[in-house]
Structure 1
Amino acid sequence: MRFDELNLEEAVLDGLDAMNFAETTPVQELTIPVILEGKDIIACAQTGTGKTAAYVLPVINELSKGTHPANAINAIIMAPTRELAQQIDQQIEGFTYFIPVSAVAVYGGTDGIAWEQQKRGMEMGADIVIATPGRLLAHIKLGSVDLSQTSFFILDEADRMLDMGFYDDIMQVHKLLPPTCQVIMFSATMPPKIRTLAKTILKNPEEIKIAISRPPETILQTAYVCYEPQKIRILEDLFLQSRPQRVIIFSSSKIKVKELAATLKRMKFNVAPMHSDLEQSQREEVMKEFKNGHIDILVATDVVSRGIDINDIRLVINYDIPHDPEDYVHRIGRTARGTNGEGLAITFISTDEQAQFKRIEDFLEKPVYKIPVDPKFGEAPLYEPEKYNTPRRGRGRPRKEGNNNNGRPRQSNAHHKGRPRKNG
């Protein structure tokens, strides 16, 4: 379907035309008409499906009509991480170039100047506030946020927010919204906790589900079944055989990311870590250096597995098994996105991760090829996931991964109504 076949305002279509957006994606075709009708909605769609435009376009379409309060916060978009909040803000900037709709991004890790800019933007009544939960609540508690006239409440990557422990924050914000507020939820997965949240905050919602994508066949998926201490030796051997370039290594925690990056650096590899303890300016610099090829290996937590667009990744390594099969898909999906569409994914499976990896294989509906471990690294365990099928304890995503006060993101500016915003 073409965007001009939807019931969108001319100014919105002009913005889409300027950005060379012509055809809708499946999630956009299904959700935009429902949101335009004013219905609550829960949509299951992953990053890369065009979901941001699916909710942003109908919201700015309605705000562009000029029927909403001029000095009120008319829409709240809540996102789990600063990176996603920034990307949503950038998309809104493009879509509203010809429209007098204002926006401000509100996320943690800022200095006092950025805090004041965020506060001023909300007090002036930015039409759209894109926020991480913790920072939005901080402003609310200081009295700089009035949500009494808000018309749209959007939760993006709701499953990730619940995983990060933001349920109470979401409910606190929801209680401040008027009963007439339209609630829109997007989630990559639909576990019971998401359905419970939906029943709590949505009113007779429409449910839209885009088929959960599995990794492209162009990604060669392989794995090593090994003991935990063998992982680093196998990794070093791989990199000595073939110089690493455009490689992302995912690890389960920022502590392990730091340790692994430091170990690889001692081995003289060109590597940088990416985790929430870095200042935001440092994180942005690392991403820039990795994208332009000055860094060969990025060791990261799942903070970069979703929502960050990096092309031409040659290899993704799962140093640790992700908790959810969908996270595995997100991780290895960072590869096979370049011009040739091919990629390689290698996963290290320790004994206590075998049951988890079997769940991933069940989700993929096929086994992943296990590369024999070279005898020089010692005897390796057999792949016997049933033997190790015991619940993992103590698992939890650190809430501060997405929103903390240690980073320093770019300054966030409220964009004034009626004034085209500068790109870049």
Structure 2
Amino acid sequence: MPTLMQSVTKLNQIPDTTRPCLMMRVMKPLNMSRLEETDKTFRGLGIAPDLLKRLDELKFIHPTPIQRKAIPIAVQGDDVIGIAQTGTGKTLAFSLPALQRVAATKKTCLVLTPTRELALQVEETMHKLGSPFGLRTAAVIGGVSIHRQIQALKKKPHAIVATPGRLIDLVNQKKVNLSMVGILILDEADRMLDMGFEPQIKKILAVVPKERQTLLFSATMPESITQIAQKYMQKPLRVEVARAGTTAERVEQEVFIVPKSEKIKLVESLLQEYKGTVLIFSRTKHGAKNIAQKIRGMGHSATELHSNRSLAQRKKSLEGFKNGEFRILVATDIVARGIDVTDIELVLNYDLPDNPDDYVHRIGRTARAGSSGKAISFVVPDQKRDLGAIERLIRTKIRVGDLPEGIDPHAQGRDEVNRPGDDRRQSGGHSGGRSRGGRTGGFKRSGAKRSGGGQRRSN
């Protein structure tokens, strides 16, 4: 750590006569045309030399647009609102400034994420970047021993990556000290609010010091996010790589209007056409399990990811999908937030999501790291209104495909994989958020309060 601290100190000792140039770099993300033409590496973004060397060792050569825009502002200590879809490099965009700040001060970093899988992914990235300099990280999530996490917190990690539910448990038990937090990061903030974590987030915001830097990253910008930014952030600068709610550029989108009873037959037809890795989204845990079972019966390697599975089982499924053991992964929305696989050929929405914002998050799982991909959605005839809501959000008319031979567009009967009533029920798999109540028709606004009971699980 002393090496990185010395590197940061040198960076901070730039003569006053050169500081205007550095400040120009800070403001460039608001008008990026020149910077995008001239700065194709991480050098010049205000990152300490030793961190630059570490990036080279980890083969991070070219910053993504969100990294080029957010990092110069964040390293200067300003609050940032970053609007970017999944797969655009947000984790590195906040990890580098956060670790640099931690190394130069006695403060700590706190990262909040919506799911356990995403928390583990972020913690792994920060550990890889910071461990050579003696920077310690800890993941604080539900589903694993709280006692081990208490022991890890006693070692005073420089960066804590947490899900809101488990962190609040530790705050209530007085097992975590947040008084030294100097930088707070809200990752996938819209998803956290959509999962019902707003009360926990506000409680955490009330506990951490008011004198801090806050970085907020989100794929969408609902009113609830705007309200949090206005109340809890200090003159944040907003950077975008695309308008809020837009989808990844390289994703080819298509929908099929298909009766419920024909869905699984259409899955079989598509899996014969697409031979690469496939991620299938189900709205329910029961549906995810049954879809995976049906696909295995077709002779394909498939696994499922939902909250009825233990954290160890979920990690095994995710690792198997990443390393090619399983070609197909069937997941519910919430647990899929930690999926970071660069070569997914097809994202298949077996069920439409519960709100349009989730559609943006789902299809962002393909076309990552500059690659292209395909997103196909099944729409039953009475869901055309929901399809329209998605198209209004993404400002795109999605092409309607022709059903393959053997698929009856007028078939009657229920869905083979979902139980009666599941088509009207919100998906499970929250891993810590508030249970969501039944739908009465149409989408619910992202960030709106959701009805319905159910016990809260610690995430």
- TM-score class, shorter-chain normalisation, is 0.7 to 0.9
Q: Report the Cα distance in structure 2 between the residues aligned to 1:59 and 1:311, rounded to whole angstroms.
A: 25
Alpha-carbon distance change, 198 to 397 in structure 1, aligned in 2, over 3 angstroms: farther
Q: Report the Cα distance in structure 2 between the residues aligned to 1:287 and 1:307, rounded to whole angstroms.
A: 9
Deviation at 1:378, TM superposition (A): 5.5
The aligned residue for residue 102 of structure 1 is: 136
> Secondary structure of the equivalent of 1:294?
coil
What letter is aligned with 2:65? P
Q: Report the Cα distance in structure 1 between the residues aligned to 2:328 and 2:56, rounded to whole angstroms.
A: 37
Q: Taking structure 2 as the reference length, what is the TM-score of the superposition?
A: 0.75
Which residue of 384, 391, 408 maps to 1:361? 391
Counterpart check, 1:224 vs 2:229: no
C-alpha contact (below 8 Å) 1:246/1:297 kept by paired residues = yes
Deviation at 1:267, TM superposition (A): 5.4
> Secondary structure of the equivalent of 1:298?
strand
The aligned residue for residue 413 of structure 1 is: none
Q: Report the Cα distance in structure 1 between the residues aligned to 2:168 and 2:83, rounded to whole angstroms.
A: 26
Query: Which structure has more RCO (C-alpha within 8 Å, separation ≥ 6)?
Result: 1
C-alpha contact (below 8 Å) 1:250/1:318 kept by paired residues = yes
More helix by share: 2
Aligned residues: 386
Bigger CA drift: 188-197 or 21-30?
Answer: 21-30
> Secondary structure of the equivalent of 1:377?
coil
Q: Map residues 373-392 of structure 1 onto 2, 5 A cutoff.
A: 374=405, 377=408, 379=410
Q: Report the Cα distance in structure 2 between the residues aligned to 1:53 and 1:323, rounded to whole angstroms.
A: 29
The aligned residue for residue 260 of structure 1 is: 291
The aligned residue for residue 411 of structure 1 is: none
Q: Map residues 182-331 of structure 1 onto 2, 5 A cutoff.
A: 182-212=213-243, 213-217=246-250, 219-239=251-271, 246-265=277-296, 269-303=300-334, 305-331=336-362
Deviation at 1:402, TM superposition (A): 6.8
> Secondary structure of the equivalent of 2:431?
helix
Q: Give aligned-pair identity as a percent.
A: 35
Deviation at 1:143, TM superposition (A): 1.0
Unaligned runs of 5+ in 1: 382-391, 408-424
C-alpha contact (below 8 Å) 2:87/2:369 kept by paired residues = no
Offset from partner CA, 1:68-112 (integer Å, 9 cap, x none):
16xxxx11111111111111111111211432322111111003x
The aligned residue for residue 59 of structure 2 is: 20
> Secondary structure of the equivalent of 1:353?
helix
What letter is aligned with 2:137? A
What letter is aligned with 1:104? A
Deviation at 1:63, TM superposition (A): 1.7
C-alpha contact (below 8 Å) 1:223/1:368 kept by paired residues = yes
Offset from partner CA, 1:15-45 (integer Å, 9 cap, x none):
1222233333222222222222222222212
Q: Map residues 138-177 of structure 1 onto 2, 5 A cutoff.
A: 138-177=169-208
C-alpha contact (below 8 Å) 1:227/1:380 kept by paired residues = yes
C-alpha contact (below 8 Å) 1:273/1:299 kept by paired residues = yes
> Secondary structure of the equivalent of 2:43?
helix
Alpha-carbon distance change, 307 to 116 in structure 1, aligned in 2, over 3 angstroms: closer
Q: Report the Cα distance in structure 2 between the residues aligned to 1:186 and 1:378, rounded to whole angstroms.
A: 41
Q: Report the Cα distance in structure 1 between the residues aligned to 2:369 and 2:343, rounded to whole angstroms.
A: 4
Deviation at 1:283, TM superposition (A): 1.1
Q: Report the Cα distance in structure 2 between the residues aligned to 1:143 and 1:91, rounded to whole angstroms.
A: 28
Q: Report the Cα distance in structure 2 between the residues aligned to 1:298 and 1:282, rounded to whole angstroms.
A: 13
Offset from partner CA, 1:317-367 (integer Å, 9 cap, x none):
21111244453344334345599x454433210133211212333425233
C-alpha contact (below 8 Å) 2:335/2:431 kept by paired residues = no
Unaligned runs of 5+ in 2: 1-38, 413-422, 435-455
